Amino acid sequence: MKSIKLFGSTGLLIGAALTLVACGQSNTNAAKSAKKFPEQTVQKTAQKGGTLNYAIETDTPFKGIFDSQLSVDQVDSDVMQFGNEGLFDTDNSYQIRVVLV
């Protein structure tokens, strides 16, 4: 019984010490680098036409599985969403309209 109390109190003290160590130091470099970015973006008029370049940054390679039943990767789902259109759509009053003819 005494050994259980000893291990319990030792674990509690180690947990408290780790919590204090983790919260003790602050990183001021992150706050300084965040101030370098502008707070507002420039508002310009929209252009008609053109090309939109889209990129996804990921640590894992792109598998290229474009079947929603087989795709288990979020990167594949993000890329697949642009070409995976439905047959039907609804308008603001929830009336079904045909998308593909």
Structure tokens at 48: 């008609």
Model confidence band, residue 43 (pLDDT cutoffs 50, 70, 90): confident
The burial of 73, by beta-carbon neighbours within 10 Å (0-12 exposed, 13-18 middle, 19 or more buried), is given as: middle
Q: Give me the chain's average pLDDT, please.
A: 76
Q: Quick one: tokens of 40?
A: 């507002």
Q: Give the pLDDT band of residue 26 (cuts 50, 70, 90).
A: low
The amino acid that residue 38 corresponds to is P
pTM of the model: 0.35
- Percent of the chain whose pLDDT exceeds 70: 80
22, pLDDT greater than 80: no
The CA distance from 22 to 17, in Å, is: 9
Question: What is the average per-residue pLDDT within 35-56?
Answer: 79
Q: Provide DSSP, 32-91.
A: HHHTTS-SS----PPPSS---------SSPP-----TTT---HHHHHHHTTT---SEEE-
